[in-house]
Amino acid sequence: MSAVKSNLSKEQERMLCSMFDRAKLSLLFKASVHGYSGSSFHQKCDNQGPTITVAYNNSALVYGGYVSKDFAQTGQDVYDEKAFLFSLDCRSEDFILRQVPVTNGQPAFNDGAYSPNFGSLIFLYNNSNNVFSNPGNYFNFDPAEIHGNDLVLTEGCGEYLTKPLRNIDWSPGKRNELMEAIKSWKPVITSVSKARVLLVGPVGSGKSSFFNSVSSVFQGHVTSQANTGVTTQVRHEVNF
């Protein structure tokens, strides 16, 4: 069976990812493939961590909601300060991205056994390709801006898992730890006293800049031991 593919264009995905810090999207569920039902949704999306629900309609609006907490069918209202609704208006050449935060003191979603329920928006409503809209419940928004009053899903509802590209600790302590690990490293073969690194690449690829960057870090100040930005051309002639 071929992999299920997202309907988001590269630009749409880029704009959605801009709402997060170093994140990429991984498709968990697609209603037009897995089924327009709450049970199908929970089978694919429960206990998967932060997720973003993405819906499409014929009004050229991509909209949905984000939660940082698990769907788990607890039957409880879940409070999540990081949650929000969003809309990506694709009706013009320049896309417009809007975010709606959860109303203070209100839950972000109801974690029932049915489809994604953000209070103001319930996707796959009554196990169908429809969305129920009730602004003011959990979230307050202008329907014209979020879904354009077009509540019929064209490509179903997609659930994406948001993950950081990489979690990096940039603290001074971690920096010193890494530098000490590099300084104290020794080759496994005892007959080799130290390692030498050969940088291979065409002229202008950044070999000297890389060397200077590493050298500057370990010396504690900016250095320019290797010439950069200089291209030397040598013409070799062979006469017979």
Compute and round to an integer the Cα radius of gyration of the chain: 26
One-letter identity of residue 234: V
- DSSP annotation of 2 reads P
pLDDT of residue 22: 73
226 burial type by CB count under 10 A (0-12 exposed, 13-18 middle, 19+ buried): middle
- Asked which of 14-28, 55-69, 96-110, 128-142 is least confident by mean pLDDT, the reply is 14-28
Supply the pLDDT for residue 203.
Answer: 82
Q: What are phi and psi of 121, to 5 degrees?
A: -135, 125
Which of 113, 55, 111 lies closest to 85 in space, CA to CA?
A: 55
Looking at residue 136, its pLDDT comes to 92
Q: What are the pLDDT digits (tens) for 181-230?
A: 888 888 888 888 887 888 888 888 888 888 888 888 888 888 888 777 65
- Structure pTM? 0.65
* Residue 166: per-residue pLDDT: 54
Count of CB atoms within 10 A of residue 80's CB?
15
DSSP secondary structure string for all residues of 3-50: PP-----HHHHHHHHTTSSSEEEEEEEEHHHH-SSHHHHHHHHBT--S
The secondary structure of 125-153, three-state, reads: CCCCCECEECCCCCCCCCHHHHCCCCCEC
DSSP 49-112: -SEEEEEE-TTSEEEEEEESS-B----EEE--TT-EEEEEE-SSSS-EEEEEEPPTTS-SEEE-
Q: Which amino acid is at 165?
A: L
What average pLDDT does the segment 109-135 reach? Answer: 94
Cα gap 137→120, rounded to integer Å: 5
Structure token digits, residue 12: 């749409």
pLDDT in tens, 18-53: 998 778 888 999 998 999 999 999 999 999 989 999
CA distance 238 to 78: 79
Least confident of 66-80, 92-106, 159-173: 159-173
Per-residue pLDDT at 238 exceeds 50: no
Per the rule left: phi > 0, alpha: psi between -120 and 50, beta: everything else, 112 is beta
Q: Please enumerate in sequence order all residues whose Cβ is within 8 A of that of 207, keeping only pairs 6 or more positions apart, or say none.
A: 199, 200, 201, 226
Q: Say if CB 119 and CB 109 are below 8 A apart.
A: yes
pLDDT of 171 reads 84
Q: Residue 58: is its pLDDT beyond 50?
A: yes
Condensed to tens digits (0 to 9), the pLDDT of residues 144-176 reads 999 999 999 987 566 565 655 456 677 888 888
What's the rounded mean pLDDT across residues 62-79? 94
Cβ-based neighbour number of residue 76 at 10 Å: 12
